[in-house]
Amino acid sequence: MNQATRSTPDAFHTITPHLICDGAAAAMSFYETAFGAVEIDRMPGMGKIMHATMRIGDSVFMLCDEFPEHGSSGPLALQGTPVVMHLYVPDADAVYARALAAGATSVMPPTDMFWGDRYGQVTDPFGHRWAIATHQRDLTPQQVQEAMAKAMPMDCPG
């Protein structure tokens, strides 16, 4: 690496999600419609999208089609995902509604949460789960703990 080359390319952050989709081109259209994503690039090959890059707000993510023959399967083939993409937006209710209209399935409608966000979740048509949030108020860790205790009382000792 020469002195002028950065280890992280411009516009990227240290961690960059890379989604695998059954139907990456359709997923890209969904992300444009539902979340206002902007396509940066795409590299087709073998009749599929081998690599694409998109941006939502100030965050970049990558995606590609499934290539199960190379050990690359999406959440539909795997029957679920343990990963949730967390998306902060100015209006969680509007983005949630737009995602549903574009074909997402509701997991949880937007609700004012004890940690200070308005927060909901959807699953996109490709099996990826998205949390959609608008930060409403800043709270200290102690305030979050107190609000959580009120919202979710625990009857467990200790």
Q: pLDDT tens for residues 84-137? A: 999 999 999 999 999 999 999 999 999 999 999 999 999 999 999 999 999 999
Helices and strands: H and E segment counts in the chain: 4, 8
- Cβ neighbours of 78 (radius 10 Å): 12
pTM above 0.85, yes or no: yes
Q: Strand 18-21 relative to strand 84-88: parallel, antiparallel, unpaired?
A: unpaired
Domains (range + CATH), the chain: 18-151 (3.10.180.10)
Q: At what angle do helices 24-35 and 92-102 cross, to 10 degrees?
A: 140
Give me the pLDDT at residue 152, please: 83
| Residue 74 to residue 123: CA distance in whole angstroms | 13
With cut-offs at 50, 70 and 90, classify the pLDDT of residue 1.
Answer: low
Please say if the pLDDT value at position 26 is more than 50.
Answer: yes
3-state helix, strand, coil in the chain (%, to 5): 25, 35, 40
